Amino acid sequence: MPRNGSATLSDLRERGLTTLDVTCPKCDRRGEYPVANLIARLGEDFILTAFLTDLTADCHRRIAGKFADQCGAQFLGLAGNHVT
Ligand SMILES: [Zn+2]
């Protein structure tokens, strides 16, 4: 059941994903987050894009706020699945 078109942590679990991979090719950021841990910490209705925003809050590109050179953080392994 779509909720405003925004995927949540519970959607990952329903797809059978156990880890959420995040990468930012511009900042060399890379992280793997166990879905079960995220749900325990944030709740299953937590929206993925909000997680990404939280995660990259310290990204210097995001802080600089340059529209021409934005942070490129994205989820890996969700290609073809719109999570935004
Ligand atoms: Zn970045």
Q: Which band of pLDDT confidence, cut at 50, 70 and 90, is reported for residue 77?
A: confident
Max mean pLDDT range (2-6, 45-49, 58-62) = 45-49
Residue 8 has φ and ψ, to the nearest 5°, of -120, 175
pTM given for the model: 0.76
Q: What letter would DSSP give residue 8?
A: B
* Long-range CB pairs of 39-47, under 8 A, 24+ apart, other chains included: 39/9, 39/10, 39/13, 42/9, 43/9, 44/8, 44/9, 44/10, 44/13, 45/3, 45/8, 45/9, 45/10, 46/8, 46/9, 47/6, 47/7, 47/8
Looking at per-residue pLDDT, the higher value among 53 and 67 belongs to 53
Tell me the average pLDDT of the chain: 85
Q: How close is the Cα of 15 to the center of ligand 1, in Å?
A: 27
| Residue 84 predicted with pLDDT over 90 | no
Measured over the CA atoms of residue 68, residue 26, residue 62 and residue 74, the dihedral's sign is: positive
- Whole-number Å distance, alpha carbon 77 to ligand 1 midpoint, is 18
Domains of the chain, residue spans: 9-76
Q: How far is the CA of 1 from the centre of ligand 1 (A)?
A: 31
Residues lining ion ligand 1 (Cβ < 5 A) are 24, 27, 59, 61, 71, 73
Query: pLDDT tens, 3-42?
Result: 467 899 999 999 999 999 999 888 888 999 999 999 999 9
Q: Which amino acid is at 31?
A: G
